[in-house]
Amino acid sequence: MTALMIGTMVLCFALTISVAVSIGLAAVLGIQASNAHMLISVKEMYSAINKFPLAAVPFFILAGNLMETGGISRRLVEFAKSLVGGVQGGLPMTCVLTCMIFAAVSGSSVATTFAIGAILIPALVRHGYPVSYAASLQATSAELGVVIPPSIPMILYGVSAEVSIGELFVAGIGPGLLIGGALMLFVWLWCRWKGWGRNDGEGRLPVGRATLQAGWALLMPVIILGGIYGGIFTPTEAAAVAVAYALLVGMVIYREIGLRDLYGVLRKSVVSSAVIMFIIASAGLFAFLLTRAGVPDAIGQWLKEVLSTPVYFLLGVNAALFLIGMFIETSAAIIVLAPILAPVAMHFGVDPVHFGLIMVVNLALGMITPPFGVNLFAACTVARISLDRIVWQLLPFVLVVLACLMIVTFVPGLSLGLRDLAYGTR
């Protein structure tokens, strides 16, 4: 049964069938092969999505779309440009910094790609940057949308591995800042070497004026993250607060969202949310059948025997996750693998929160690696170029994030330092 399920899923992926359908079809065949009742599928798919923390997913998606339509993302770009746009290579640095700020509310890398890329990719091209470089930079920077909290993949890991989502959010700050800072340093050095971006400061607003214009937008992540870490509301409630605040700012203060715009925003958000929930439901059924067949225990025992030390385990898991992330969507991979790998990580003495950050950062690389990187397709759509034109430009960015991943993996204090400070030393 297990071989049939995995073989069917891989075959469907190879045929470019959607992730949710591929996983769901493999699970249905698994039920038939094990002579189980089909009602199991209904029960387990419902159980997979009947979890309160998952309510945050559609709210964060809606908040990101409201920010894009309501002018919040444009003002964040102007603010970031006022801070770092005055140096050579300042515009690519602006892209990274804006994505870091936007990520502190949206929780989605795809939403970040569309919201920020629609503004910055054309701006980069106007300033003489190759369009392939602009698209690669935007796709990579948007990856921060799932590393810097709040993060939808972190919510999914917390639900799947039964780990505190609040602790995951706090732990994600260090890795997010590390990756963002490394990308900014890299693009600055790269632009100086290439001779790009000597006129990036043109049209740059003074810091005071840009801050004033973006004041309401900048207050949004302060309210959301401050409320979560201050214990005022849960991450799920914070998602609803983000929607309410984005709606208030977009409709009442900036007045860039009208009643006619709401239909398009809501429709886009519902479709995105439905796709993710379909994946979660199918992956939940798939994971249940694998667990019933004893696969997690078998894999765990095999890993304990083959990877005898924590270092070997982390290296092996990182290599496997990197390859898996190239072919399987991040959310689906987390939902299927987290219940299997998290207990094994704990056996090797790896903190489950730290391991969650390793999984999220590693699988986020899958968003910018062919053949199924969702950020790549989003960035190519915005830049109106084909995927093959940006592959070589991606390689340096992937290497930078990989270097950061190794630091996150083997320096647990980067993730757990703030967690221990906020929740008490473990």
User: How is residue 219 written in tokens?
Assistant: 């207050």
Highest mean pLDDT among 51-60, 124-133, 317-326, 353-362: 353-362
Q: Average pLDDT, stretch 206-215?
A: 86
Whether the predicted pLDDT of 416 surpasses 70: yes
What pLDDT does 403 receive?
Answer: 95
Angle at 346 between CA 341 and CA 347, to 5 degrees: 95
Whether residue 347 contacts residue 166, with contact meaning beta carbons closer than 8 Å, is answered with: no
What pLDDT does 371 receive?
Answer: 60
Instruction: Output b/e per residue, 209-231; b: 16+ Cβ within 10 A.
Output: ebbebbebbbebbebbbebbbee
What pLDDT does 181 receive?
Answer: 94
Among the residues of 34-130, which ranges form H helices? 39-49, 56-69, 72-84, 90-106, 109-126
Q: Average pLDDT, stretch 326-344?
A: 80
What pLDDT does 297 receive?
Answer: 65
pLDDT tens digit string along 138-160? 989 988 888 888 888 898 899 88
Among the residues of 108-234, which ranges form H helices? 109-126, 131-142, 152-161, 165-171, 173-194, 207-213, 215-229
Whether residue 154 contacts residue 170, with contact meaning beta carbons closer than 8 Å, is answered with: no
Whether the predicted pLDDT of 267 surpasses 80: yes
Angle at 114 between CA 164 and CA 365, to 5 degrees: 50
To which H or E segment does residue 302 belong?
A: helix 295-306
What is the pLDDT of the chain when averaged over all its residues? 83
Among the residues of 348-390, which ranges form H helices? 352-364, 374-383
Give the whole-angstrom CA distance, residue 144 versus residue 146. Answer: 5
pLDDT tens digit string along 111-122? 778 778 878 888
Question: What proportion of the chain, given as a percentage, has pLDDT over 70?
Answer: 94
Q: Average pLDDT, stretch 203-208?
A: 80
Summarize the chain as % helix, strand, coil (round to 5).
Answer: 80, 0, 20
- Give the closest residue to 370 by CA, choosing from 316, 313, 326: 326
Give the whole-angstrom CA distance, residue 232 versus residue 249. Answer: 21
Sign of the C-alpha dihedral computed for residues 390, 156, 34 and 298 taken in this order: positive
Residue found under tokens 């790998």 = 341
pLDDT tens digit string along 58-105? 887 788 788 878 888 788 888 888 888 778 888 889 889 888 888 777
Radius of gyration in angstroms for the set of CA atoms belonging to the chain, rounded to a whole number: 21
Q: pLDDT grade, residue 406 (50/70/90)? A: very high
What count of other Cβ atoms lies within 10 Å of the Cβ of residue 232?
12
